Amino acid sequence: MSEWIKAYARALGFDLVGTAPAQSPPHAESFLHWLAQGYAGAMEYLQRTAHLRVNPAELLPDARSAVVVGLNYAPAELPDTDYRIARYALGDDYHQIIREKLETLLGAIQAVAPDVRGRACVDSAPVLERDLAWLAGLGWYGKNTCLINTHRGSYFFLGVLLLTLELEYDAPAEGGCGTCRLCLDACPTGALTEPYVLDARKCISYLTIELRDTIPERYRAPMGEWLFGCDICQEVCPFNRPRAHQPLRARPTHEPRFQPRALPRLYDILTMDEAEFTERFRGSAIKRTKWRGLIRNALIVAGNKGDPALRPLIERYCQHEDPILRETAHWALARLTAQAEDNGCLTGNNDA
């Protein structure tokens, strides 16, 4: 039954699949300690559902097993934009895609074992997917806190299907980063405070997506051109990059719905109202940041780019009724002005 389930999951398009017991995850105490340190920031839902995350059986009574799957999302090429978006958000929203596949898998299992109950969990469900994925042999923890598969890198989504069915379980994954610390050194905001520890409050992904308030000023310039999410700690990872005489480990996705959508330019985003935002990003993970969050992020990117053509749009938001957008716009305008003055001084020195 275990091998049949894995074969069916692969036929549905999952790149990785393994099985693990539906037990309290081995790193449950580490997760609770991480929460106690305040590293989750404003993600209070993690604290609220912590008791469920450390006990899968509370999500599905009598749960015995977890079928854990991985689905590659890496595009063959990045789109040509004047800002940056994390790879996972370039295509259609993954939640529905993975959930559909897991529900199909559950239906197939119940067709041959009608008494089996199951529950599909995709990111938003309160489970510790990475721990279960490690137990199921899909990958090991990297120093950037991402789950890394030795042969496929880390550009893949995780999904979990809890079952009231006893299965044969895979061995936990083996591997490690060795002495490498490229991800820690590359993080522009210092969010990786030490190997395997992420302070989400400093992470560009958290700041641009999860944080609903104003972004602390000390992190704005380091954000650079990241409009939504961040891939820096994965981009520098050797397990996502080609090695001499060897193919790229993070191969392009074969899921057509993960191919990059057509994206608006930064100018178009800054002129977008809420209705246009809703329509433009329908079915995209980008909608999670909501209109105000995306405009806030776009203003910071505009300030960092130093493009004088964006000045009129920034100035427009300096009068906006929303205090967060208004304050961010003033910061962006000041940064734009400062960069223009620096460039002018530099030109003058060269001329002299």
Which residue numbers are catalytic? 123
Residue 178 exposure: Cα atoms within 13 Å on the Cβ side:
6
Residue pointed to by tokens 């009598």: 62
Closest CA to 207 of 193, 223, 194, 190: 223
- What residues are paired with 158 via a beta bridge? 70
Assess contact for 53 and 127: CB atoms under 8 A. Answer: yes
Tell me the two tokens of residue 116.
């089996």
Assess contact for 157 and 98: CB atoms under 8 A. Answer: yes
Residue pointed to by tokens 């993070």: 250
| The amino acid at 231 | D
Residues in contact with 133: Cβ distance below 8 Å, sequence separation at least 6, in sequence order: 18, 68, 70, 139, 147, 158, 173
334 vs 340: CA distance, rounded Å:
10
Assess contact for 165 and 113: CB atoms under 8 A. Answer: yes
Strand, helix or coil for residue 86: coil
Residues in contact with 290: Cβ distance below 8 Å, sequence separation at least 6, in sequence order: 212
Residue 55 exposure: Cα atoms within 13 Å on the Cβ side:
8
Number of CB atoms found within 10 A of residue 308's CB: 12
